[in-house]
Structure formats: structure tokens, C-alpha cells
Amino acid sequence: MNIAVVLFNLGGPDKLENVEPFLFNLFNDPSILSLPSFIRYPLAKLISKRRAPVAKAIYQNIGGSSPILKLTEYQGRSLEKALNNNKSGYNYKVFIAMRCWHPRASETVNLVKNFNPDEIVLLPLYPQYSAATSGSSILEWKETAKKKNLNINTSIICCYPQDSKFIKAHSELIKSKINGLNNFKLIFSAHGLPEKNIKNGDPYQWQVEQSVSKIMNEIGEDNIDYVLSYQSRVGPLKWIGPSTDQVIIENSKKGKKLVIVPIAFVSEHSETLVELDIEYEKLARENGCKKYIRIEALGINEHFIEGLSNIVINKNEYKYKNNLFPPKNRCPSNFTKCPCLN
């Protein structure tokens, strides 16, 4: 039996001249700008053109391109090896579909069709579900598969914010960095969202909070001073908080050492390599921080990859409805954007 596993990620520009079209794809997504297409398209053009110079400067700091595709390919190969090392007798092949740059869903659907699998498993590299990330990628895949007549049984793994191996991977990395460290603030930093998204039923913030709670329980030290904050705010809307930059300023002024954990990013990209590693460290130093530690994204961490493999292999333990395989600890009923509640 052949099983295609499709990893979803955001994608990123592969060269500086592709920064603007990448931004256009991002802002032309109806999950990002929920406007009629005749308004969204020209607005996305305008926003991407205005933001391109700043974004190009960001990517120049990391060699003129995003490393996210190469790193996602590493994750894909590691996962494929783990899947095929199990004794299920199935033949797994891992594919990648990026939401805002290549390979897009339209390209990956063609590759999957050529593989001719008996089953497809959609697996977002977003541990916590949001309609703007996993939801958007899943929707694009469904629409593209329908257009291209890819009529194969498809399972959807929507999220895994409390998966034991995901939690273990983070907790072990954190423990290795804070061992012997004193007077520090542990800062879990996740990509932010406009507050209205959460009020409209997006479960993302709640799921991130569950991830942090589980990690702290796994670490098992009650006296750790920690906080969850949110980064990458853009635009005039009010976003969920507290903001990572303000948390960094406040704790740097208190003389705290800082340990930063990218809790919602599993692949290194501009938000970790530039925002966390360059911009926020500079901000911390300017405000008196003497030690700034940024814990790496999980990448091909063996516990993380093992967790993803187990989720795929054992997904039938979690079957819910409509080929949806959510975690056992589901979102509360007020999070109406959760796919389990639709």
C-alpha cells in the first residue's frame, strides 16, 4: 500500500527578486485578508509593493533567500525514513506543499498523482492550528485536488499541540540550555494573530497555551520564571499579547538573562533567524541584557520526527469525522474555527 504524506509549510522567497511576489501570495490569501477578491487582489498588490523593500533587507541578513524549503526538505526526508522504518509494510513517500511560494499545492498535486498512492495524509508543520495557516493550506489543497481530479482517500491531521514527542523535544532542549543558569526569564514566543481572529473563534492562542503548559509540566521545575508572548505584529489592528519585544525590553531592564523558545515555529526562517536572532537580541542588549539564548527550532529533532511519524502511523486512533484526525484533547466549543467543530 502506497501512502503519500504531504507536509504543509508557509514557504519563502528563494531570491530577492521573488520577495514581492511571495508577499503578494501571502496577502492575497483570503484567510489573511478576508475581503472580496476584487478588493483583496489590488490591496495585496499595494501592500506587497510597499513592504518589499523592508522585507528584502530582512532576507539580505540571511543570504538573500529563505532557508525554509531546504529545511522542510530535510524534515521530509527524516520523516520518510522514520515512516518506512516501521513494520507496517506500507510504502510512505513524503511531499511538500508551500502556501505562499514554490512548490505550491498545484505543483505538489501533480507529483502526488504521479506517485498514485492508495491514501494521502495531509500534515501541517504548524503544531497549533489556525485558520490562517493550517486551515488555509488544507483548503487550498482540497480546491486544487478537486480541480486536478485527484480523487484519493485523504486524511487530515489538523494539529498536534500537546503531542508527547513534540512536548519532549522542546522540554529537553530547554533543560539543556537552562541547566545551571540563574536569574533568567524563559520566553516562549509564537507568531501573533489579530485579536479579532481569536474573538471570531480561532483556537490558535488556546492551543499555544496548551503547548506551553505541557512543556512546563514536562520540565517539572516549579520555580522557573516564564511567559508566553507573541511576535511579528504587522498593521494597525490590535494583536494578541503580550508582545515579545515588550517582554524582552521589560526583562532586560530588570537584568534578567533571556532564554527564547520559538514555540510555534518548527523550521528556521526569517522570523527566527532575523527577528529573534538579530533584531530582538539587539533590542535586549540595548536594554541591558547580558545573556541572550535562543533555542533552535525543532527541525529534524529525533523526538519531533518520531512524534510526526507516530501521528501518521497511528492516526486511526484519533479519527473524528470527515477524514479528520485531531488530537484527543480537543478545543473547547467556543473555538468555532476549529475544524472539529465545522
d(CA 310, CA 333): 27
Residue 101: what are its φ and ψ, rounded to 5°? -155, 180
- Look up residue 165 and give its three cell numbers: 514527542
Q: Are 329 and 207 within 8 A, CB to CB?
A: no
Average of pLDDT values for 6-18?
97
pLDDT exceeds 80 at position 328 = no
135-186 pLDDT, tens digit per residue, is 999 999 999 999 999 999 999 999 999 999 999 999 999 999 999 999 999 9
Q: pLDDT > 70: what percent of the chain?
A: 100
* Cα 125 off chain centre by: 5
pLDDT exceeds 90 at position 318 = no
**Which domains does the chain show, CATH number per domain?**
166-294 (3.40.50.1400)
d(CA 116, CA 93): 11
d(CA 283, CA 245): 8
57-73 pLDDT, tens digit per residue, is 999 999 999 999 999 99
- Long-range contacts for 246-250 (Cβ within 8 Å, ≥24 apart)? 247/185, 247/187, 248/187, 248/280, 248/283, 248/284, 248/287, 248/289, 249/283, 249/284, 249/287
Give the end-to-end CA distance of the chain in Å, rounded to a whole number: 31
Average of pLDDT values for 7-36?
95
Q: Is 213 exposed, middle or buried (0-12, 13-18, 19+ CB in 10 A)?
A: middle
Q: Is 26 exposed, middle or buried (0-12, 13-18, 19+ CB in 10 A)?
A: buried
State residue 24's pLDDT score: 96
Local structure of residue 296 (DSSP, 8 states): P
Q: Are 7 and 72 within 8 A, CB to CB?
A: yes
Q: Are 265 and 297 within 8 A, CB to CB?
A: yes
Per mean pLDDT, which range of 76-85, 188-197, 227-236 is the poorest? 227-236
Per-residue confidence band for 56, with pLDDT thresholds at 50, 70 and 90: very high
